[in-house]
Amino acid sequence: GAVVSQHPSRVICKSGTSVKIECRSLDFQATTMFWYRQFPKQSLMLMATSNEGSKATYEQGVEKDKFLINHASLTLSTLTVTSAHPEDSSFYICSAKTGVLSGTEAFFGQGTRLTVV
Amino acid sequence: GQNIDQPTEMTATEGAIVQINCTYQTSGFNGLFWYQQHAGEAPTFLSYNVLDGLEEKGRFSSFLSRSKGYSYLLLKELQMKDSASYLCAVRAREYGNKLVFGAGTILRVKS
């Protein structure tokens, strides 16, 4: 399947600082990338859809000024958690796709475990 | 996720067969996905169904009935390493063709 790489896999940061997470498509060009968040013992919740060269689309209840998304190239999207607080501690996962119904969005990156202390 | 239901937990014995059901209600259905997720890891893609019928892939099979809004994941010859959470996800025009996930089914395989 399509290869999506996410970095870092784990990060611990102090409350009030910002953290950047990268999502790369390694063997295809991703016109769209998706960012999910998963709290313990819960399912994946879509946070935002990132389109190359345009603004991200955020799901209801997700603060766009807090979760900054940049999709500057066809292989890289970044999610920056600004002014992180302990309640932002979660597992963040990305997926990427090319085309409308290509099926490549089925494949996820390894995920990033964020802990805010 | 919206209108996607699957059992919370299931327990089965090593070597046995287990069926995990998923029901959904949506308009503009465009595919159903099954994932396996071990604790602390990202989900791993298992199967994709968009047409009615059974898709078989080794020990895992997935079935879809679009008219009934129903799918199941069948795991044969269960192994201890199959203990994980299994997520059902639906793609539909109603969701902007994005994946919407069910809450997941925790499967415990006992010896």
Q: Around Cβ B100, how many Cβ atoms within 10 Å? A: 22
Contacts of B96 in chain A (CB under 8 A): 49
Q: Which residues in B31-68 are b (16+ Cβ under 10 Å) and which e?
A: bbbbbbbeeebbbebbbbbeeeeebeeeebbbbbeeee
Pairs across A and B, CB distance < 8 A: 48
For range A68-89, the mean pLDDT: 94
Whether the per-residue pLDDT at B1 is higher than 60: the answer is no
Q: How confident is the model at residue A54 (pLDDT cuts 50, 70, 90)?
A: confident
Residue A113 and residue B40: Cβ atoms within 8 Å?
A: yes
Contacts of A44 in chain B (CB under 8 A): 43, 87, 89, 101
- Contact between B91 and A97 under an 8 Å Cβ cutoff? The reply is no
CA–CA distances in Å: residue A39 to residues A64, A88, A111: 19, 9, 12
Convert the pLDDT of each residue in A102-114 to its tens digit.
666 778 999 999 9
Q: Which of B79, B78, B98 is nearest to B33 (CA)?
A: B98
Whether the per-residue pLDDT at A75 is higher than 80: the answer is yes
Convert the pLDDT of each residue in B85-98 to its tens digit.
999 999 998 888 88
Q: What is the pLDDT of residue B2?
A: 63
The C-alpha angle with vertex A8 and arms to A59 and A113, in degrees rounded to 5, equals 60
Say yes or no: A7 contacts chain B, CB-CB below 8 A: no
Residue A49 and residue B87: Cβ atoms within 8 Å?
A: no
Question: Which A residues in the span 21-50 are in contact with B, Cβ-Cβ below 8 Å?
Answer: 34, 42-46, 49
Residue B1 and residue A43: Cβ atoms within 8 Å?
A: yes
Contacts of A103 in chain B (CB under 8 A): 31, 48
